[in-house]
A and B are shown apart, each in its own frame.
Chain A
Amino acid sequence: EAQVTQNPRYLITVTGKKLTVTCSQNMNHEYMSWYRQDPGLGLRQIYYSMNVEVTDKGDVPEGYKVSRKEKRNFPLILESPSPNQTSLYFCASSLELQGYEQFFGPGTRLTVL
């Protein structure tokens, strides 16, 4: 089944404790992206990747890191999480860069205490 998977689905952590949210897609998509969803703000793009080893900042990259060492994986790293990073996070992928449908993962609910 074609899908985007994220792990964990739920995470409660404390300020400053490094964490990684994994994202994997099995559709051989070139483009992958991370978003955070907050009430009243919709989804905002954190980082995106156009291919292996090619990443760029989205609208809200502060406090986040990403890497794209393999085409299928695009982990999101929070080196020192803070309470303002409490949010719902989505990973997404699409076949190519421009204008194709993005397939979303199921979301990760992160709470930073």
Chain B
Amino acid sequence: AQTVTQSQPEMSVQEAETVTLSCTYDTSESNYYLFWYKQPPSRQMILVIRQEAYKQQNATENRFSVNFQKAAKSFSLKISDSQLGDTAMYFCALWDDYKLSFGAGTTVTVRA
């Protein structure tokens, strides 16, 4: 069964604007990790941001930040000041029980 759900197949955003990608997950573990990976047209998988479940503080990496709602099992990604180079597919991923499970992905297109 799918344990990571990304409900937005595609999103479009104007350059310099902000876009938020949603992700919900399901796990019975108390200790787990969440990730957002970016896959540009080159197909390379690139880590965007990592969140440890036991840390309440939301992770931030430059223009990328997350809203981690543990009780709701929600892990959204906000991209601020969007740039053309942010155009890519974004995957939410959950690490628990020695495995990494991915969502289906959200394609983000940044318009000039």
B residues lining the A interface (CB < 8 Å):
4, 6, 31-33, 35, 43-45, 47, 50, 52, 91, 93, 95, 98-105
Contacts and interface: CB of A to CB of B under 8 A. Distances in A.
Contacts of A106: 43-44
B91 A43 contact: yes
B47 A43 contact: no
Contacts of B52: 99
Contacts of A44: 102
Interface in A67-113: 88, 90, 92, 97-99, 101-102, 104, 106-107
Interface residues of A, number: 24
Interface of A: 33, 35, 40-45, 48, 50, 56, 58-59, 88, 90, 92, 97-99, 101-102, 104, 106-107
Q: List the 8 closest pairs (A to B, CB-CB), nearest first.
A: A99-B33, A104-B45, A42-B102, A43-B102, A42-B104, A107-B43, A101-B47, A99-B95
